[in-house]
């Protein structure tokens, strides 16, 4: 017997920003808008998926996420910005240019997380466990909404990796397994008990 799908979640990462292009660390402490390439990516996504009957759009509180789905919101789809969906805070590293020295520091932090040290973070920043706690809270609220069967969500790279680990019940130490790029798409389905990936890191909709 085929499993009934109760919810389908379309998750995208926001479009490109100048910090993305210029290899600057961009967490919740950096509220940069989309650049022209990012705006074009958002338009491409809208053209490819405007036919989907989304019942709700969720974004973080950061401008780059709601700009990425602005066309859907303008089209009348209800929108809820949630601070719980914000990107990880990189603390003192937010806004830092990733040169050779900073790349080594960043890579060391990622390797600590891979090894299971999920409470460590940069000074004044957040750890994966802290981000997971607020993302979990957001998803519990979203799943309580019984009339939202097809959902569009726009979040951030690190938050996306952590959220996928939560939904698929994987260890956060495995979050690097989930690849992403600007305006990539993941589609997940929920049968009331488990989430399943139907599409991952897809950018076939981007034409420019």
* Interval 6-49: pLDDT, tens: 999 999 999 999 999 999 999 999 999 999 999 999 999 999 99
Mean model confidence pLDDT for the chain: 96
* Interval 156-191: pLDDT, tens: 999 999 999 999 999 999 999 999 999 999 999 999
* Interval 77-128: pLDDT, tens: 999 999 999 999 999 999 999 999 999 999 999 999 999 999 999 999 999 9
| Residue 204 clears pLDDT 80, i.e. is over it | yes
145 versus 39: the higher-pLDDT residue is 39
Q: What is the pLDDT of residue 189?
A: 97
pTM recorded for the entire structure? 0.97
Burial of 58 (0-12, 13-18, 19+ CB in 10 A): buried
| Residue 2 clears pLDDT 90, i.e. is over it | no
| Residue 1 clears pLDDT 70, i.e. is over it | no
Would you say 145 and 7 are in contact if contact means Cβ atoms under 8 Å apart?
Answer: no
Assign a CATH topology to domain 7-147+165-202: Rossmann fold (3.40.50)
Reading across the β-sheet that carries 56-59, which strands appear in turn? 79-81, 56-59, 150-155, 7-13, 185-190, 195-202
């Amino acid at each position: 017997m085929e499993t009934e799908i109760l919810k389908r979640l379309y998750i995208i990462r926001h479009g490109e920003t100048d910090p993305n292009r210029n290899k600057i660390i961009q967490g919740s402490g950096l509220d940069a808008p989309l650049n022209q390439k990012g705006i074009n990516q958002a338009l491409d996504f809208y053209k490819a998926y405007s036919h989907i009957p989304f019942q709700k759009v969720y974004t973080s509180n950061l401008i780059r996420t709601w700009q990425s789905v602005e066309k859907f919101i303008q089209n009348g789809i209800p929108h809820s910005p949630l601070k719980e969906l914000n990107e990880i805070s990189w603390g003192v590293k937010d806004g830092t240019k990733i040169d050779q020295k900073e790349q080594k520091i960043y890579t060391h932090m990622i390797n600590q997380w891979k090894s299971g040290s999920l409470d460590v973070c940069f000074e004044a920043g957040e750890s994966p466990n802290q981000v997971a706690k607020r993302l979990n809270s957001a998803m519990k609220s979203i799943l309580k909404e019984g009339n939202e069967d097809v959902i569009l969500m726009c979040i951030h790279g690190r938050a996306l990796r952590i959220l996928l680990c939560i939904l698929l019940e994987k260890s956060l130490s495995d979050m690097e397994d989930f690849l992403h790029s600007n305006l990539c798409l993941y589609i997940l389905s929920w049968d009331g008990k488990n989430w399943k990936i139907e599409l991952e890191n897809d950018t076939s909709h981007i034409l420019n």
